Amino acid sequence: MTIKWWEKTVEYLFVKKHVSETNLVMPLDGKDESQGDTILGNKNQWILIEFKKDKDSIVSEKKKFHDFNAAYNQLKDRDGHHHIIYGSPVRQGIKVTLALKSQTYFSFVENNSIESALQTGIKFEVFHQYVKEFISFKKSTEKDSGGVVLDTNSNVIGVSSTGEVIECMTMKEYVIKYIPELAPVQRVTNTNTLKR
């Protein structure tokens, strides 16, 4: 028996197994929002996760960079919090299930478990600097319209000191919120103006 899965299957399996509804922080509105952001930034640690269908799909990440080797050389010694999570079929008798495995993004170090990957969070300031450097190596959006190409399978995860997932956002949401000058430009379809 074989099993068929996709990148989104891996992402959904991660959420199902490792994200508890009761631990997630709900966004705050208005004046409380900036205070909440400060609290989250101080108490959380941060990891960056890319989801891939399987281990063979990881090589496709290289084409997302102007110069992958330059990015690799600059970031490989600081990527302990940046992981690729992928699916791997596991046979148990006649039954085949999908297991999650992970490795660091540039240094290719395999994690013992997803739980151990969730224990690798770093402080916000260090994480933020890493993300800025990381996306500076990414290709620009089409026709050089500004901003970077932000992979829909890149996720910024806030983890507690015990490795519990307590906040999730896409890389695009993170960049728009914390690095708006690098956010991709979005064209409004019914006018000629540009929006970020």
Q: pTM to 2 decimals?
A: 0.78
Q: Are 192 and 185 in contact (CB under 8 A)?
A: no
Domain ranges of the chain: 7-195
pLDDT in tens, 4-57: 899 889 988 998 888 876 665 544 444 444 433 433 444 579 999 999 999 999
Q: Are 166 and 44 in contact (CB under 8 A)?
A: yes
Q: Which of 105, 168, 114 is nearest to 138 (CA)?
A: 105
Count the neighbouring beta carbons within 10 Å of the beta carbon of residue 126.
13
Cα-to-chain-centroid distance, residue 95: 31
Q: Which of 155, 130, 131 is nearest to 18 (CA)?
A: 155
Alpha helices by DSSP H, 30-170:
31-43, 68-75, 114-118, 124-136
Cα–Cα distance measured from residue 112 to residue 101, given in angstroms and rounded to the nearest whole number: 8
> What pLDDT score was predicted for residue 99?
95
Q: Which of 193, 171, 191, 167 is nearest to 182 (CA)?
A: 171
Cα–Cα distance measured from residue 102 to residue 55, given in angstroms and rounded to the nearest whole number: 9
Q: By three-state DSSP, how is residue 136 classified?
A: helix
Q: Which two tokens stand for residue 177?
A: 């919120």
Q: Which of 172, 84, 110, 98 is nearest to 135 (CA)?
A: 172
Which comes out higher in pLDDT, residue 153 or 188? 153
Cα–Cα distance measured from residue 192 to residue 179, given in angstroms and rounded to the nearest whole number: 24
> What pLDDT score was predicted for residue 188?
55
Count the neighbouring beta carbons within 10 Å of the beta carbon of residue 39.
13
Q: Which residues are 99's β-sheet partners?
A: 88
Whether the pLDDT of residue 169 is over 80: the answer is: yes
pLDDT in tens, 88-147: 999 988 899 999 999 999 999 999 999 999 999 999 999 999 999 999 998 865 544 455
